[in-house]
Structure 1
Amino acid sequence: MPDAPELTIVPVRGIPEIRAGDDLVALIASATDLRDGDILVVTSKIVSKAEGRTIAADDRTAAIESESVRIVASSDDGRVRIVESRLGIIAAAAGVDASNTPKGTVLLLPVDPDASARALAQGLRSATGARVGVIVSDTLGRAWRDGQTDSAIGAAGVQVFEDYRGGVDSAGRPLVVTLPCVADELAAAADLVKRKTTGVPVAVVRGRADLVGDLHLPGARSIVREHDRDLFHTGARESWDAGYAAGLAATREG
């Protein structure tokens, strides 16, 4: 069995407040010395700001609705709404963010986070000569568990899964379904040094150069489970309501 890798996670300090049109490649490259095999975890907020995804909105409800394709679940009072966004991500408020933005504005997620990650990775490889991968992260909740963690919503030049299926564990037992989402694991690990209130939007993960590869490896969109394999497609209340409505309709037809 191979030895467990030793990881180092380095916060990238000195990146200023980002505005529309800022060159993230130049800002990141000047703030840290990158090495072959480094994986950068970049908070989606600065990607969105650089891409001009800030919009005027006194109430973010309309922005949430414009970014949503369906409601998955909502609380009794309707104040918490879990939706599927146009990116396929299941999250509260479709990732629309009103924190750390000017009054009267909200911030939308990047139009295509995988493309954003690819542009960053390609630009950083060209600028520094280092073969790096990039993960664009955002904070998401988890079904069945309180609290949030950072997850990968964009990725380029890095494997998002580590596939152990077909192998064996340390006791020699076959592994049938073991498919760690290393992109999410790296995003969460990086947030331990980026945190939420320190003004550090980028971290560099060292020690997993084995995950860094071609810029056109499958991105984070491949993490989103297809509907036909999603056992938790709809919230409990919404499922009950749909079943009740279907029962009424069947009774009327009968």
Structure 2
Amino acid sequence: MLIAQLTDIHIGFEPEARPEELNRQRFRATLDRLLSQPNKPDMLICSGDITDRGDAESFDKTAALLAECPFPVHMMVGNHDTREGLLHAFPATPVYDGFIQYAFEQDGLLVVMLDTLEIGRHAGAFCERRRDWLRATLEAKRSTPTVIFMHHPPVVAGIGWMDPNEDDPWILNLAAALEGMDQVLAIHCGHLHRPIVTSFRGIPLAVTPSVAPLVAMDLRPISSEKPDARALITTEPPSYALHRWEDGTLVSHYEKVCDWDVLAYYNPHLQPMIREMEKERLGG
């Protein structure tokens, strides 16, 4: 099973742009690549900040493009979204106690979608009600391998102006829900607009890079009192992820969306190399 992930699309950042805003161009290019690349996804997860302002028009524009997908699309909110806007454009999205938080099982893998939105707050949120739902959901599926998707990474990555405090209450709530849940194989996030790999409470955690322009990789301390002309946002290419679940193993792949040259094709002159590598794998 292949799970595609797009995150941080930010449609509507320049709503008056003509003929088409940059973020929508990047989204269209990423979606085109996802649909044309050789690995057919079984589903797509959009992990938050679908829009930049949470408005219905931006969600409608997103839904119109996602209608091209020949596989299920699962939505979740980020801090730039609104639950009302998302449900307007994607009314079939499950809701729990007012939160866009749900789980489903496919091919022996439990996929958990978390809601880390608190309106008016840039950073994440995860209250006691969401914590208790997650704990109960995982308790009921202790023998089922699980992957969690959430918008905000509950870790300090070193990008000072984007990072949370490691002892934020929402992070402690998440940690409490995950304690002892050994079936959780990985956590996949967005929000930071960069490719990042780390762990949270012993669980592998990765951040998928954004579709919208990326955050510059500058890990120096930053001061709100002293602008230092550092780069904050760059035009690095948009990216997407493919998470491969097969034979009890979850592996994640990432691809940038840009023009490149193919340096080798699998033609007869490379067949001996492929045969030799296959022979090694088979113990020959």
TM-score tier after normalising by the smaller chain length: under 0.3
More helix per residue: 1
Q: Please, what TM-score do these two structures have when normalized by structure 1?
A: 0.28
Q: Please, what TM-score do these two structures have when normalized by structure 2?
A: 0.26
